Amino acid sequence: MSINQPDFKEVLGQISRLIAITTTVLLLMVAVIFIGVLASGPTEDWHSLYVESPDVILSEKMTLENAVEYQSQDIQYGYELITNTDQLIGMTVDDESMRYTGNVLRCSSCHLQGGTQSYGIALVGVTDRFPQFRGRENKEGTLSERINGCMTRSMNGIPLPENGKEMKAMLAYISWLDDYFGEDASSVAPGLKPIELPNRAVDLAKGEAIFNQQCTVCHQSNGQGLASSDTSGASYTYPPLWGDYSYNNGAGMHRVITAAQFIKYNMPFGITHESAILSDEDAYDVAGYMNSHHRPLRDHLDLDFPDRKRKPMSTPYGPYVDDFSSEQHKYGPYPPIAEYYKEVYQMTKKK
């Protein structure tokens, strides 16, 4: 049976009209749904995915690195200064006027994950804690002054100009971290988590054994770290822990208690305070071993802590207002020192 030409054309016409009507109906339905969504406002589910940021509507699920890309140039530069310090203001950068640090560390060597790791000396919430009284200077100091304390001690360098581009960028980034976390900012634990101090001196032999077991994969057997092969200059994937290119003897990390707290809840690299693998005594001994080696020497340490009573008990240099030796202040045991300050000065010493 065959279909003649006129009948075939009529069928095609009917099909075309049906397709056109169906398409029009579908488009109208989509338009109605879209108008309804706009009229009712954003749903709770949509709102939960986004938070207000000064520069952009920012997804809470966005990584720190990606979120920074949507921020101001100051914030972006501040992030780079924290995480790639050696490449921007390090000791071997091409522009000699930008050589502010005197070693190969990065700010993020201590302020882990861009300053966002709990008990990893986080920078979240720091802006609101300044101005702050600092015993080392015995006065109230600004956050800029605190940053320059790191620059001249942990980074073994020179101060950043307080009104310079670099300082402003760091301050902008640190402040922005509170916006990035929003209501969750309080979930990032500040500072370092305490450990239980053994009532004995550091066991250097034990510390060396722990270092060889746990630390050499990253920091090498000589403690000099692992140089990066894909960046220029003196850049390290894992930083040196002692020697000429590490922190100087005036840095907070040169105190055994401070270093032990940091190591316990952040090392080996990749663990967190919730997944620590070292015991308190292991961290204590390896911190002492790390700080038993040569490192850069800072001048005028005798000027630190004008009120000597405020000096942390694990500060490895005098003068002190007690009769304990420099050796005991450096390597412990610390409970007797803490008891002395509690009895004589009514002061509670924890570090």
**Boundary (domain end) residue, out of 120, 155, 187:** 187
- Residue 338 placed within a domain: yes
- Residue 280 placed within a domain: yes
Q: Are strands 50-52 and 57-59 parallel, antiparallel or unpaired?
A: antiparallel
Residue for token pair 């054994």: 209
Instruction: Take residue 65 and report the two structure tokens written for it.
Output: 């690195």
Q: Where is pLDDT greater, at 170 or 44? A: 170
Instruction: Take residue 293 and report the two structure tokens written for it.
Output: 């080696």
Average pLDDT over residues 229-249: 84
**pLDDT, tens only, 18-39:** 565 666 656 666 555 555 544 5
The total number of structural domains that make up the chain: 2
- Residue 208 placed within a domain: yes
Residue 316 scores a pLDDT above 70: yes
What pLDDT band is residue 228 in, cutting at 50, 70 and 90?
Answer: confident
Q: Where is pLDDT greater, at 166 or 30? A: 166
What's the pLDDT at 20? 59
- Residue 219 placed within a domain: yes
Residue 40 scores a pLDDT above 90: no
- Residue 193 placed within a domain: no
Lowest mean pLDDT among 53-67, 159-173, 178-192: 53-67
The verdict on 175 and 214 lying in the same domain is: no
- Residue 245 placed within a domain: yes
Which residues span the domain enclosing 278? Answer: 204-345
- Residue 48 placed within a domain: no
Q: What is the CA radius of gyration of the chain?
A: 29
